[in-house]
Structure 1
Amino acid sequence: MKRHAGYGRTVIACVVTVFVAAASLSSCRRSVTPTGEPANGPAKVDIGKKDIGVRYDGKAILDGSITAGGAGFTAKVNVFRTGEAVSQAVLLEPRDKGGRVRLEARIVGGPESFACEADRRDRGPVVVRHVSGESRSGLNRAVYDRGRDWVLSVDAGPRAAVIPVRAEGDRKAYDIVAEGAEIVLRFRPRYYQVHRGLDFFEPWTYRIWPDPVAGWISWFAFRDEVTEEDIVRTADTLAETLLPFGYDLLQIDDGYQSGEGRPDLWLTANDKFPRGLGFLPGYIKSRGLRPGIWTNVAFKQADYAAEHQGWFVTDARGEPARGNWVEFSLDASVPEAVDAVVRPVYRGLRDMGWEYFKVDALRHLRYEGYNAHADHFRKAKRDLAGAFRSYVEAVREEVGRDVFVLGCWGIRPELVGLIDGCRVGTDGFSYAGLAQFNSWNNVVWRNDPDHIELDENRYRSTLVTSLTGAILLLTDKPELYRTEAGEPARRAAPVLWTVPGQVFDVDASRSGELGRVAAEVSGSGPRAFDASL
């Protein structure tokens, strides 16, 4: 990543807490009406004797009044640039010595805007906050507009409150009141993209998945020994036990395929699936569930790679390069390679009826495949990160925007806008990730803290996952859900649709290291920027 302005390094021991307003699901549609890119520049600020107006992106985003003592107030507007990051500060001060100044205004944002905290407080415990519905927390001092990626906030110092008041068509309104010895109103455009360093974050081009994601995954239950009968039995059990509580996804993981690499190996199930891979989506749907499937970007046929050397990343000798976990790496900057190897897999699976796609080993393609052989891209004068992104762009184009795509595993900032969710850490449920990437959830994508086993030590994970609005996938043997051991999953329902209460990460120790993504050459374990357990 190229931009790193604003990353904090302080590690905070935090209690994961959730402030929940009325539980309502997002009604956002997946389609986005093109509106063009917002400017990475300051807003237009007009200040009169008693009033203030702020316009940005061709719209009024704040209108209000300013009051002070008999002598009035002074206003100073400054624009600061750190690299590409723009921060515009409006300083309001009373002319009377020892006086106070008061701002009463209305902020107007788009349909994806929400009240929040924009800056870390220097006093009191900092807790992770997520909100279902509109937030009326007294901690809010800002409004973030996701659709246009700007934040308007009041700096620490004066008393301040931001209260949602109403929605007007596709616009949402908030009343803001601030009073103190001085008031600093701060506007930051391209907040996540530039200030937070997410180069590919263009929220005006895509919407967050509008519904909760809850269900079951086969991995911990059956590993790669999973059979057709296991999936049929699980579908029957889920339909009777957990579907009434909103657990409607059944995702088959590793173990069904004939091999990893050529399209025919992915599209032809092994002998454990006698009725073929195409049988399962229909059966799963017949039980009222959504069928999901695991895939992997590894390529393991050496003869095929040798016959199509121009389609694969090569080593210093000009031969197809090998990497741990991924074996041979398809060069997705070559359209013919993508057309022959990637597109047929996902087109075929979508045609079968699969509706949820987990794409695994992406970190290994990037690190062991691409980064470790960066000279391949330099010599060919191809963009390495662009090639990596092209792989997943092809996946998205083939499956469409109406199905969920999960990137796995570890933080994948270069895939922002292409994947609907991201497994933020390694295998095993991550409590820490809920604080390390809290501000990403349902802003950048849906966080996946990994699947949950309902054993004595982990069943509490269902509650915190539900309240934070993250992906909630169970992974037990299905018979367990007919017993009392399945009760925590039922009590955690429904999984909420939330937005973060903060647009910063409570524990920034991981997201503050995103600049290292471009220099990693091994993904064999969690890296400094991946969520910890």
Structure 2
Amino acid sequence: MSWKIKLNNGRIDAFYDDQLVLEGIELRGYDQEDEIKFLLAPYGKPYPVAAPAGEQIVYILKLVPQNTGPTDIIMEIFCGPLRLALRLYPRKPLGFKLSGMVHWGWEPYLCRIEPGQFKDVVQAALGPANSLLCDCLFDKWTDRVLRFNADDIFQIKANPSTGDFWVESQLFTQFGSIPEILAVEVINHFVTEHRSMPHYVPYDRTHHPLPPSGWESWYCYGRQTSEEILIRITDWLAKHLKPFGCEVVQWDDGYQDENWLEWRRDLFPHGGKWIADYIHSKGFKPGIWVLPQSLGKIDSKLLETKPDWLLRKPDGEVFRGFANYPYVDPTHPEVKKEWFQKIFHTMAREWGIDFFKIDGEGEMQQWYALCRDQLYDPSLTPDEAYRGWLKIIREAIGQERTLLICATQWRAMGFGDYCRTGTDVGEQWPAVEPALRATFSNYWMHTIAWYCDPDVLIVRPPLTLEQARSWASLLGLSGQVLLNSDPVHELPEERVELLRRIFPAQDIRPMDLWSHPPHGPYPQIWDLKVATNWGQWDVVGLFRWFEENAAEVKITTELLGLPTGRYVLYDVWEKSYLGELGNGRTFQIDPGACRVLCIRALTQVPLLLGTNRHITQGYPDLLNLKWDSTHKVMTGQSTVVENDPYQIRILVESNGKKYLPDKIETDCCNVTYHLEDGVLLVTLTSKISQRVNWQIQFKK
């Protein structure tokens, strides 16, 4: 494998491994006010050069001006096994601009793969977003990175309408220099080798295009979760959170009696299928916690009736792991069929359970290594023993159901839809730290190997409202697995409101493919870059996790990877317009608190500031937005939730320009509006969840 180029109508097409990567690369020169368009032509024949990393082919090309311009500029292109470089040989000072399309796999991620400038700003993308801080494209399907570089300015840009990528670079040359106007390098086996995860399998999101959003029992009811509790919670969720995207109701440890299919009648008098059917009847997916590598009961009768099923330590004693439960030997044929396969086939195919959380996974390879000589089949490696029973579970439940691996276990890649990436959280604020550690250490795997789960979200007291808001904001801006674990029917209204504004989890992916130190201090800026076919914006979370974090947090366009220009700020939780970003703004933040800011380029007035449906500020709800400057009409289409006032805030006054509304109309719901301090607030109310077309006619 190596780079090759072809000339196509005076432009460069570059291929790697016989796949088109750079298409239509063209050069333009500029000298003061004049622009010169160049075509490229061969200047002699290409020739090989031996090099330690492998043979390089050198192409020498001549820049031919379309009209008038210098005729003595040469370009050399070096095609190596991994790197392609375009180098200019100018005769006099001249500026150059390069541009062309980039193709890199089926699902390229714009990203950066190692810490650099502004490494403590976490970047994430919702849609085909751009960032000046990113210098790579990653294709998870081939596990390859394409890294760009240049001796001056360059940018990889996504087209929000098409999803295509472009590369642009710019430099000013001087005689005697031989600058690289563009270089690209292939990094093969990024996850398997550079991240040392040999079992890596790219996650196919065909069956589950979004992470789950729902409710989980453990952190409010523990092992006392019952049928009665689940009915009460399910009924409440159906009324209050299902319209906002809640879809899963999952219960945890404590239901099992002798085994995972025999339940405690004091807690679940009707059994597993009945409660699954009830949850289904309310429009939810039932979910269950299982520790399938164990018997699930400390003194199970199977210890006496099936002694050959048990995993044993080198001294012959039964191995006990999570919760002191006895573990089974996963290599035993009867265990495979009568335990793993039977349990999950019954739960999935007969009971109708849709969501499976299997726990205690993080150390499985260690236990199998310890007990390997005692296994029924000791020829299997610890990884093979573990992945063998995961394969049985995956086949038993099918791809249409989901499997959560708990906790961090890269050996489960290829079988899990979700992975718990940290330890358990708690309801006191310091106990949020496992979620921070999980997010900042392992978020780079999100949507690549699976959906990441930093553990549940808790918003109830004794957390302060500010602490609950910070925790909710982290989940809302990262798009990870979103499972709340509160007695939701007892929550104060302002805590329920937090849940409404982050449900459901969105299709957010990482732009930073590395791990932050697990010990902290944790990054205080989370920059979610959003792109739709009608606009692009940033939703930036500013956090002060603990007392020891900086009290002042400053943001600038450079720090956020934004092009130079004018930007306006809108406070998402406070619903207030904060003016322009200017050369930068500094915010004072209390311990445990956050600010979430929507940042939009000030390209016109009227200008959308934000909506109140979701923390992402328009991505799931605002389907279309247009401004007709000739007729002074703004039109949009929004998805509204039943009986939830839908608010649209629009900046209508800036730089002496002021637009006053004349008439506001919708096609199917009530509308009111209010104008204050240069911001127009439009409120839509509907008795049903539906799409609403709306129009604002401004005075001419």
Q: What TM-score comes out, normalization by structure 1 length?
A: 0.77
Question: Does structure 2 conserve the Cα–Cα contact (< 8 Å) formed by 1:102 and 1:178?
Answer: yes
CA distance in 2 between counterparts of 1:281 and 1:106 reads: 50
Task: Go from structure 1 to structure 2 and tell me whether the alpha carbon gap of 1:94 and 1:424 turns closer, same or farther (over 3 Å shift).
Answer: same
Greater mean deviation of Cα atoms: 201-210 or 434-443: 201-210
Equivalent in 412, 431, 446 of residue 441 of structure 1:
446
Greater mean deviation of Cα atoms: 199-208 or 478-487: 199-208
Question: Does structure 1 conserve the Cα–Cα contact (< 8 Å) formed by 2:313 and 2:374?
Answer: yes
CA distance in 2 between counterparts of 1:148 and 1:130 reads: 21
Question: Does structure 1 conserve the Cα–Cα contact (< 8 Å) formed by 2:312 and 2:375?
Answer: no
Compute the displacement of 1:286 (Å): 1.4
The alignment partner of 2:456 has SS state of coil
Task: Go from structure 1 to structure 2 and tell me whether the alpha carbon gap of 1:51 and 1:282 turns closer, same or farther (over 3 Å shift).
Answer: same
* Residues 1:298 and 2:257 are matched in the alignment: no
How do 1:293-372 residues align onto structure 2 when only pairs under 5 Å count?
Answer: 293-296=288-291, 297-299=293-295, 300=298, 304-305=302-303, 308-323=306-321, 325=323, 327-350=325-348, 351-367=350-366, 369-372=367-370
- RMSD after superposition: 3.0
Compute the displacement of 1:318 (Å): 4.1
Unaligned 5+ runs, structure 1: 1-41, 80-87, 511-533
Match of 1:25 in 2: none
Match of 2:380 in 1: 382
CA distance in 2 between counterparts of 1:396 and 1:144 reads: 27
Match of 1:404 in 2: 402
Match of 1:145 in 2: 139
* Residues 1:133 and 2:124 are matched in the alignment: no
Q: Deviations over 1:480-519 (max 9, x none)?
A: 3473321111122342111212233344889xxxxxxxxx
Compute the displacement of 1:421 (Å): 0.7
How do 1:75-474 residues align onto structure 2 when only pairs under 5 Å count?
Answer: 75-79=77-81, 88-96=82-90, 103-121=98-116, 123-155=117-149, 157-165=151-159, 173-180=164-171, 181-182=179-180, 183-203=182-202, 209-259=208-258, 262=259, 265-296=260-291, 297-299=293-295, 300=298, 304-305=302-303, 308-323=306-321, 325=323, 327-350=325-348, 351-367=350-366, 369-376=367-374, 380-409=378-407, 411-428=408-425, 429=432, 430-455=435-460, 456=464, 457-474=467-484
Greater mean deviation of Cα atoms: 382-391 or 140-149: 140-149
Greater mean deviation of Cα atoms: 131-140 or 337-346: 131-140
CA distance in 1 between counterparts of 2:501 and 2:204 reads: 36
Question: Does structure 2 conserve the Cα–Cα contact (< 8 Å) formed by 1:298 and 1:325?
Answer: no
Unaligned 5+ runs, structure 2: 28-62, 64-69, 172-178, 426-431, 521-700
Question: Does structure 2 conserve the Cα–Cα contact (< 8 Å) formed by 1:117 and 1:503?
Answer: yes
Compute the displacement of 1:111 (Å): 4.2
Larger fraction in strand? 2
Compute the displacement of 1:287 (Å): 1.4
Task: Go from structure 1 to structure 2 and tell me whether the alpha carbon gap of 1:106 and 1:284 turns closer, same or farther (over 3 Å shift).
Answer: same
CA distance in 1 between counterparts of 2:130 and 2:241 reads: 33
Q: Deviations over 1:153-186 (max 9, x none)?
A: 2136432112223787xxx521111234323211
CA distance in 1 between counterparts of 2:484 and 2:321 reads: 31
Task: Go from structure 1 to structure 2 and tell me whether the alpha carbon gap of 1:133 and 1:324 turns closer, same or farther (over 3 Å shift).
Answer: closer
* Residues 1:499 and 2:509 are matched in the alignment: yes
Question: Does structure 1 conserve the Cα–Cα contact (< 8 Å) formed by 2:203 and 2:417?
Answer: no
State the structure with more CA Rg.
Answer: 2
Q: Deviations over 1:278-324 (max 9, x none)?
A: 11111111112111111113224566356545544333244543445
* Residues 1:45 and 2:4 are matched in the alignment: yes
Task: Go from structure 1 to structure 2 and tell me whether the alpha carbon gap of 1:458 and 1:156 turns closer, same or farther (over 3 Å shift).
Answer: farther
Task: Go from structure 1 to structure 2 and tell me whether the alpha carbon gap of 1:302 and 1:99 turns closer, same or farther (over 3 Å shift).
Answer: farther
Task: Go from structure 1 to structure 2 and tell me whether the alpha carbon gap of 1:205 and 1:194 turns closer, same or farther (over 3 Å shift).
Answer: farther
Larger fraction in helix? 1
CA distance in 2 between counterparts of 1:148 and 1:339 reads: 35
Task: Go from structure 1 to structure 2 and tell me whether the alpha carbon gap of 1:237 and 1:157 turns closer, same or farther (over 3 Å shift).
Answer: farther
Overall identity of the aligned pairs, in %: 22
Question: Does structure 2 conserve the Cα–Cα contact (< 8 Å) formed by 1:224 and 1:254?
Answer: yes
CA distance in 2 between counterparts of 1:509 and 1:178 reads: 38
Between 1 and 2, higher relative CO (CA 8 Å, sep ≥ 6) is seen in 1
Question: Does structure 2 conserve the Cα–Cα contact (< 8 Å) formed by 1:427 and 1:450?
Answer: yes
Match of 1:36 in 2: none
Task: Go from structure 1 to structure 2 and tell me whether the alpha carbon gap of 1:53 and 1:342 turns closer, same or farther (over 3 Å shift).
Answer: same
Compute the displacement of 1:444 (Å): 1.2
Aligned residues: 452
* Residues 1:62 and 2:64 are matched in the alignment: no
CA distance in 1 between counterparts of 2:114 and 2:355 reads: 36
CA distance in 2 between counterparts of 1:204 and 1:125 reads: 26
Question: Does structure 2 conserve the Cα–Cα contact (< 8 Å) formed by 1:72 and 1:96?
Answer: yes
Task: Go from structure 1 to structure 2 and tell me whether the alpha carbon gap of 1:435 and 1:207 turns closer, same or farther (over 3 Å shift).
Answer: farther
The alignment partner of 1:294 has SS state of strand
Greater mean deviation of Cα atoms: 335-344 or 351-360: 335-344
